[in-house]
Structure 1
Amino acid sequence: MNAPSNPVIFMRDERLKAEAAIEPDPVPTSPAAKTTQIIAIYGKGGIGKSFTLANLSYMMAQQGKKVLLIGCDPKSDTTSLLFGGKACPTIIETSSKKKLAGESVAIGDVCFKRDGVYAMELGGPEVGRGCGGRGIIHGFETLEKLGFHDWGFDYVLLDFLGDVVCGGFGLPIARDMCQKVIVVASNDLQSLYVANNVCSAVEYFRKLGGNVGVAGMVINRDDGTGEAKQFAEHAGIPVLATIPSNEDIRRKSASYEIIGRPGTQWAPLFEELATNVAVAPPVRPKPQTQDQLLGLFSAEVTGRNFQMEPATTFDMVGKHELIKPTLEVVYDAS
């Protein structure tokens, strides 16, 4: 066959032939590259999420893992225990200041480290000045601009309020931003109500095609009454660790002291928690009904043996209801 008269076409054809003759790279046989576990931790405000996460992340770092802790609570207190009570500049506040100055946010403006743990706070608006959930969304948008998806961490731990139901706080579950969820609760009805809500959210999005599951529960301030353990059993999720109600823990936590240090009294507890968090698979929980949740507690605690009495018109307006005939026209069937 004669070569094409157009030299440009001839050169292109020759180049394509040369590329086609190149053997493809062999199929990789080495182990899969490390993937980051992104874990969202939920719980009622004040239940001890920040305490649990600060000590868990510290222990993971001491075990040689690269850990990023992100506070997603408008109170911005997730990292305070890690940094000895010092306030960490939040992403939202820093972003606003930088924008006014015509500057861009850099990693060093918002991310700080201690003994191998990297940590940052998303932050939130002041009371009455904005939506906390929208602040969370804005914070993650900023993280993506900083290259969040390219960072090489073993674990990214997200601290979320569980008793706020607006969209931003459900972001990791709704958008599959994490692989698994952990709930922190205690032996009280309100914290278990929040834990059950989180389980309900996970199950709802699983039915819509989501992939996030619940890896388990951390029972904090355990007083031995057993309601949280019963809830975990009924919901079909494991207990990853039980942190006792202990004066030494309370006092050290109040003075911003990390107790999850290797070689200390409480080290085995957090070593076990770190191991369980790493290997626990995400499962579909079985959310409980309100009656099932109340059934974990005695009637004396919940008052559920009270019989509701319907109100009457007389109760509302001080007189009996006057029954008037209806003016509705009713047609006979033809």
Structure 2
Amino acid sequence: MSIAPSLDFRSSAPAAARVAALREEAAAPLDPVPTQSVKQTQIIAIYGKGGIGKSFTLANLSYMMAQQGKKVLLIGCDPKSDTTSLLFGGRACPTIIETSTRKKLAGEQVAIGDVCFKRDGVYAMELGGPEVGRGCGGRGIIHGFELLEKLGFHDWGFDYVLLDFLGDVVCGGFGLPIARDMCQKVIIVGSNDLQSLYVANNVCSAVEYFRKLGGNVGVGGIVINKDDGTGEAQAFAEAVGIPILASIPADEDIRRKSASYQIIGQPGGPWGSLFETLAANVADAAPHQPRTLTQDTLLGLFKSDAVGRNVVLEPATMEDMCGVSAVTRPSLEVVYDEAV
């Protein structure tokens, strides 16, 4: 930038000349500000009932995204630490919490290579959790994310970060991405069964609650896994106001390949187009503000013979509880007469 020489305002130069010099300096073009391209990362939290197929869906989704040229990080946030097992052909991945504990006892620092591993362009890690009966899984999740921040999580340059969360548990740690706006949107994996849709409804309830408190996370949509065509999950999606991102059929070929830790989300494969569509829909899904269903409304999505809605609640009596006729016993409470 061309800068006019500095002026000594104590000089006797005419005021008009000083004003002209200042205007010339102000009109000089500015040097361009150095800029650095910052990659906008989509952080997506995936929730669903345990065993519904989140890990299967995410392993194939992340693999397809990587084959499409995207840089993808898959983080397992389930104490079972099984999110990455399909991706790595059944091999267990060392967890962040386990590795951190071991390194701390040895007086060493955790490095990226200790906890993050890759396959065909997909980067993956497991947060892990405490041993059974020795701690809170939700607290373990919080601790795991604290360790990720120390490893530079906010500086990593990924196109997508996919977080696999167990939806059955409603304690604070498992709701972290929604409560603290750690992700832009939530994806639900469900099926045509009451329990998975109960979990899906809980996730919608959490999103609705935190948005009322000023949060910004929304639900991108639902992936229907093991879709047998009965339609309950579709009815749920319509009732709460979220789109269906994909329907993965209840197919024997998919079941066998998943059980043998085979990736089916490959371009050109028999199921490739399904996961190509899912990848595009997940990327483009807008964060919706869902409605939450009451328990009765949720049950209403199913036939009465499937969920037992014909059962009538019959109140129990004290005779039922004691097994004999209840005897009225005098109270042991001391009652004082009012003072005269």
TM-score (norm 1): 0.89
CA positional deviation for 1:31: 12
| DSSP 3-state at the match of 1:176 | coil
Return the alpha-carbon distance in structure 2 between the equivalents of residues 127 and 185 of structure 1. 26
Q: Are the structure 2 counterparts of residues 328 and 213 from structure 1 closer, same or farther at C-alpha, using a change threshold of 3 Å?
A: farther
Match of 1:172 among 171, 177, 182: 177
Return the alpha-carbon distance in structure 2 between the equivalents of residues 62 and 171 of structure 1. 30
**Is the contact between residue 45 and residue 161 of structure 1 (CA under 8 Å) also seen in structure 2?**
yes
Say whether residues 1:247 and 2:255 are aligned partners. Answer: no
Say whether residues 1:100 and 2:111 are aligned partners. Answer: no
Counterpart in 1 of 2:328? 322
Return the alpha-carbon distance in structure 2 between the equivalents of residues 21 and 324 of structure 1. 97
Match of 2:167 among 162, 170, 174: 162
Say whether residues 1:309 and 2:314 are aligned partners. Answer: yes
Counterpart in 2 of 1:6? none
CA positional deviation for 1:66: 0.4
| DSSP 3-state at the match of 2:88 | coil
| DSSP 3-state at the match of 2:84 | coil
Unmatched tracts of structure 1, length 5 or more: 4-18
| DSSP 3-state at the match of 2:79 | coil
Q: Are the structure 2 counterparts of residues 313 and 24 from structure 1 closer, same or farther at C-alpha, using a change threshold of 3 Å?
A: farther
CA positional deviation for 1:280: 0.6
- Deviating above 4 A after TM superposition, structure 1's stretches of 4 or more consecutive aligned residues are 19-28, 30-33, 323-331
CA positional deviation for 1:320: 3.0
CA positional deviation for 1:136: 0.5
Q: Are the structure 2 counterparts of residues 272 and 102 from structure 1 closer, same or farther at C-alpha, using a change threshold of 3 Å?
A: same
**Is the contact between residue 313 and residue 321 of structure 1 (CA under 8 Å) also seen in structure 2?**
no
| DSSP 3-state at the match of 2:47 | strand
Counterpart in 1 of 2:283? 278
| Structure 1 letter corresponding to 2:306 | V
Say whether residues 1:196 and 2:201 are aligned partners. Answer: yes
Alignment of 1:167-246 (within 5 A): 167-246=172-251
Deviations 1:20-74 (A, max 9, x none): 999655589x998431000000000000000000000000000010000000000
Match of 1:121 among 126, 130, 137: 126
| DSSP 3-state at the match of 1:40 | strand
| DSSP 3-state at the match of 1:219 | strand
Counterpart in 1 of 2:69? 64
**Is the contact between residue 314 and residue 321 of structure 1 (CA under 8 Å) also seen in structure 2?**
no
Unmatched tracts of structure 2, length 5 or more: 1-8, 12-24
> Percentage identity across aligned positions?
78
Return the alpha-carbon distance in structure 2 between the equivalents of residues 197 and 32 of structure 1. 38
Counterpart in 1 of 2:294? 289
Say whether residues 1:256 and 2:261 are aligned partners. Answer: yes
| DSSP 3-state at the match of 2:165 | strand
Deviations 1:79-121 (A, max 9, x none): 0100011111100000001101111000000000001000000
Match of 2:304 among 299, 308, 311: 299
Deviations 1:205-243 (A, max 9, x none): 000000000000000001110000100000100000000
| DSSP 3-state at the match of 1:126 | coil
Return the alpha-carbon distance in structure 1 between the equivalents of residues 192 and 130 of structure 2. 32
Return the alpha-carbon distance in structure 1 between the equivalents of residues 31 and 198 of structure 2. 54
| DSSP 3-state at the match of 2:200 | helix
RMSD: 2.5
317-326 vs 117-126, greater mean Cα deviation: 317-326
